Amino acid sequence: MNEERIIAVQAALRESGVDALLISVGSDLPYLTGYRAMPLERITALVVPAFGEATLFVPELEAPRVDTSVEVRPWGETDDPFDRIAAGLPSDSTIAVGDQMWASFLIAFQDRRPGARFVDAEPLMAPLRMIKDKDEIAALRDAGHAVDGVADHLSTVRFGGRTEREMSRIVSDLVLASGHESVSFAIVAAGKNGASPHHEGSDQIIEPGDAVVVDFGGRVRGYGSDTTRMYCVGEAPDGFVEAYAVLEHAQRAAVESVRPGTTAETIDATARSIISDGGYGEFFIHRTGHGIGLDAHEQPYIVQGNTEPIRTGMAFSIEPGIYIPGRWGMRIEDIVVATDDGVERLNRSSRKLRFVE
Ligand code: ZN
Ligand code: ZN
Ligand code: ZN
């Protein structure tokens, strides 16, 4: 698996006239080596030359944790790792640098290779990472199934009287109990806080009549889940049910519009036009979705201006929302994957408004 991906990235390097790929922390590393490095000041770096063997440089103390088919070269505590890594990089070459590399690392490489041209590796990596293979889709599917169980379980939990922070902790615990190896986020935003899409759980107490945005996800075998469901404590606030009907329609239509050959921006326009026709256009303040995989947000972005054609194997969220400042917010989010003949939803829990105590 890693071998095939490295061969594919080498072909991409040669095609774009880049001499080597230089990756440190971030998800390109596990994608190419199967190893996720801790983001430490001790550098871990993968060098993939356009021709020849890839090498993974790791701090000596991390070496026992590394299990990869790539050749591993540990560096010791008193070595200069940048000298050793740069030794494999020709002087006046073009080097593509991973988008998560620390600025201090890049500056150290620029010092050692002043004649080299450093370029962004994302345009090389994104086309590969965007198309998920069978195993990646299986991991995304399992992650989706696990959060669906959490969404359903939450319908039986009392929200009223708890703080957002307390609810967020309950959601996190359920995400772990459902089989995720880690929690990526657990957004609980009640009442007017729901109008801020990435609201962090506060000490605000959830009260009867609050609509609560619950948006959560974690990782299964390295791959992300991400779903949003809406919970109303006792009853829905004024005007909420009507807007929710519009949002449900927009979300469903956008999901159903997914198929190979359509573009990312067309999917966004599908959701947006229904919300605009419903009279809430100015309150849908973010893009319709984002790709998901080893990163919680990655390409393709489902946004106006992105003419990227959808291809089989692309996985992304469809998450339109309506946010009325000072009153409430709502969002419905599912992960989908494009298939040869359309779309597979990876989240299947009910999208109906959920009434809780
Ligand atoms: Zn988000
Ligand atoms: Zn989300
Ligand atoms: Zn999302």
Q: How far is the CA of 198 from the centre of ligand 1 (A)?
A: 6
Give the model's pLDDT for residue 34: 94
- Report strand pairing: 298-302 vs 289-291: antiparallel
Q: How far is the CA of 203 from the centre of ligand 3 (A)?
A: 24
Q: Give residue-wise pLDDT tens across range 273-306.
A: 999 999 999 999 999 999 999 999 999 999 999 9
- Residue 329 in contact with residue 320, Cβ under 8 Å? no
Q: How far is the CA of 226 from the centre of ligand 1 (A)?
A: 9
Q: How far is the CA of 128 from the centre of ligand 3 (A)?
A: 21
Q: Give residue-wise pLDDT tens across range 1-30.
A: 688 999 999 999 999 999 999 999 899 999
CA distances (Å), origin 222, targets 27, 30, 135, 180, 283: 9, 9, 11, 9, 34
Q: How far is the CA of 213 from the centre of ligand 2 (A)?
A: 10
Q: How far is the CA of 332 from the centre of ligand 3 (A)?
A: 10
Give the model's pLDDT for residue 327: 96
113 pLDDT more than 90: yes
φ, ψ for residue 290 (rounded to 5)?
-145, 150
Residues in CB range of 113: below 8 A, 6 or more apart: 86, 89, 91, 93, 95
> The whole model's pTM is what?
0.94
Q: Which ligand has the shortest distance to the CA of 217?
A: 2
Q: Give residue-wise pLDDT tens across range 114-152.
A: 999 999 999 999 999 999 999 999 999 999 999 999 999
Residues in CB range of 27: below 8 A, 6 or more apart: 36, 100, 129, 293, 294, 295, 298
Structure tokens at 149: 């169980």
Using CA atoms, how far apart are residues 113 and 87, in angstroms rounded to an integer? 9
Q: Give residue-wise pLDDT tens across range 307-340.
A: 999 999 999 999 999 999 999 999 999 999 999 9
Give the model's pLDDT for residue 121: 97
Give the model's pLDDT for residue 14: 97
Q: How far is the CA of 33 from the centre of ligand 1 (A)?
A: 28
Q: How far is the CA of 289 from the centre of ligand 2 (A)?
A: 9
Q: Give residue-wise pLDDT tens across range 216-246.
A: 999 999 999 999 999 999 999 999 999 999 9
Q: How far is the CA of 170 from the centre of ligand 2 (A)?
A: 17
Structure tokens at 336: 């989908």
Q: How confident is the model at residue 91 (pLDDT cuts 50, 70, 90)?
A: confident
Give the model's pLDDT for residue 1: 63
Neighbours of ion ligand 2 (CB under 5 A): 215, 226, 333
**What DSSP designation does 237 have?**
P
Give the model's pLDDT for residue 39: 87
Q: How far is the CA of 224 from the centre of ligand 1 (A)?
A: 13
DSSP string, 247-279: HHHHHHHHHHT--TTSBHHHHHHHHHHHHHHTT
Give the model's pLDDT for residue 200: 83
Residues in CB range of 152: below 8 A, 6 or more apart: 349, 350
Which runs of consecutive H residues, i.e. helices, occur in 16-57? 28-33
Q: Give residue-wise pLDDT tens across range 165-206.
A: 999 999 999 999 999 999 999 999 999 999 999 888 899 999
State the average pLDDT for the chain.
Answer: 96
Using CA atoms, how far apart are residues 201 and 167, in angstroms rounded to an integer? 8
- List domains and CATH numbers for the chain: 2-129 (3.40.350.10), 131-356 (3.90.230.10)
